[in-house]
Amino acid sequence: MNDVVACPAVLALELAPGETPSRLMLTREEAQELAGLVAEDLRNLLPGVETSRLAVAGALFDAVELLRPGFPVHATLDELARRIPRVTGEAAVVAFGSNQGQMPAQPLVPDPTYAGGPMRLLPWTLLADEALAEDLAARIETELVGRGEAGARTSDFLMRTLGVRFEHARYLSRNDVMAMTCVQYEHVNLAPLWTLLEAALLTPYKEESTLTLRGLPLRYGAGRVSAPPLAAWFAETAGHGDDDAAHQLAGILFELRQYSAVLNAHGIAFGFEGTAPTVGYAMEAVNDPNPTFGKPRLFAHQARGLGVVAVTVAQTQGSAEPRILAHGFPLAGDAMETMLQALHARYNADETITDLGTLFLAPGRRLAVPAASVH
């Protein structure tokens, strides 16, 4: 018996301006009705598709939720569909919706964090034997992108059920979603990031490297993206003058915040090389504490328009130069408190934080604290 192969795709719902769905999940009954309508559309778009099995998830996702390593939403949909025996004489259509607000598996629950975009994606897949799946996959890629508009009955049902108006409702392959996401990232100057995302999605067993537009090297490998310890890398980077060094570092930190947010949304861990990944912030160790110096203290660096961009842990002893122990970089707005707790716990730092009011760099482009601030 030939292996059953999955052909993943989506129904992409482009919302009219100002429209927001009343909910992100369909009930089991609604999902089943929708699946019947989708099956009717696909029979017109892909003749012969009725010999395969259609599985539909009654939930609305953002692209970042579907494009995660292992494609967990589609993988879960495939697994659930395979568990249901196919009964001879019955329609080869299965659907999964909510029952009393609960979906049959957690990966099929959309995250409201990402619900504000103008496009919602409803996952579906075709299950077929290997030979048929190869033909279907090829036709899905060529036919849907050009003529994959959903039928009027399908669009009307979803608009009535969700209480919204659509600009378009179109069937797309998962590869189409990837291509669309790639273009979106290129438009916001995140093209280098797609190099890493594509590797994580399609070739997770390989390593991949890239440079951000500001020159920071990033590497994907072993399921995570890493950057060199930022302060050390910045101090060692040649070819830059010191006159605008603080401005340069602030720009790199702004870029790193963007990259970190996108990677987190796609379920990919980020951290500095040699450290464990942390969510929403990154830490860079510099020196071990000196037992003859004073209690470690925290110093906040600020950059215009960005707020606190770094927190330095430092010790002082008399007139000696402050001893820098570590730097913490908040990459998400809600991660500052968690980062501060981690710095306090690791270095037994004083509870107070000194606000430097600027992004302070010592000679040699070193992220530091001014000697006067520790007395």
pLDDT of 227 reads 96
Domain ranges in the chain are 4-185, 191-375
Tokens of 225: 């993206």
Tokens of 232: 């050390």
Give the pLDDT band of residue 350 (cuts 50, 70, 90): confident
Residue 89 has pLDDT above 80, yes or no: no
pLDDT of 242 reads 53
Residue 226 has pLDDT above 90, yes or no: yes
CB of 35 within 8 A of CB of 54?
yes
Q: Residue range 75-88: average pLDDT?
A: 86
Residue 58 has pLDDT above 50, yes or no: yes
Give the pLDDT band of residue 3 (cuts 50, 70, 90): confident
Tokens of 226: 């890493």
CA atoms within 13 A on the CB side of 118: 7
Give the pLDDT band of residue 91 (cuts 50, 70, 90): low
State the Cα–Cα distance between residues 160 and 238, nearest whole angstrom: 60
Nearest residue to 353 via CA among 317, 283, 301, 307: 301
State the Cα–Cα distance between residues 135 and 253, nearest whole angstrom: 47
Arithmetic mean of pLDDT over the chain: 92
Cα three-residue angle 134-135-140, rounded to 5 degrees: 100
State the Cα–Cα distance between residues 345 and 331, nearest whole angstrom: 19
pLDDT digits (tens, 9 = 90+) for 5-26: 999 999 999 999 999 999 999 9
Give the pLDDT band of residue 375 (cuts 50, 70, 90): very low
3-class SS at 126? strand
Phi/psi for 224 (5° steps) reads -140, 165
Percent of the chain with pLDDT over 90: 83
Cα three-residue angle 162-166-172, rounded to 5 degrees: 100
State the Cα–Cα distance between residues 208 and 198, nearest whole angstrom: 9
Encode 279-291: b = buried (16+ Cβ within 10 Å), e = exposed: ebbbbbbbeebee
Q: Is the dihedral of CA 184, 187, 190, 192 positive or negative?
A: positive
Give the pLDDT band of residue 145 (cuts 50, 70, 90): confident
Cα three-residue angle 197-201-205, rounded to 5 degrees: 105
Encode 166-193: b = buried (16+ Cβ within 10 Å), e = exposed: beebbbbbbebbbeebbeebeeeebebb
| Antiparallel, parallel or unpaired: β 53-57 and 93-96 | parallel
pLDDT of 243 reads 61
DSSP code at position 108: G
Tokens of 121: 């994606």
Tokens of 239: 């070819």
Please measure the distance between the N-terminal and C-terminal CA atoms of the chain and give it in whole angstroms.
Answer: 78
Helices (H), strands (E): how many in the chain? 10, 16
State the Cα–Cα distance between residues 6 and 80, nearest whole angstrom: 12
Encode 305-321: b = buried (16+ Cβ within 10 Å), e = exposed: eeebbbbbbbbbeeeee
Residue 248 has pLDDT above 90, yes or no: yes
Q: Residue range 33-52: average pLDDT?
A: 94
State the Cα–Cα distance between residues 24 and 122, nearest whole angstrom: 10
Encode 10-21: b = buried (16+ Cβ within 10 Å), e = exposed: bbbbebeeebeb
| Antiparallel, parallel or unpaired: β 281-285 and 297-303 | unpaired
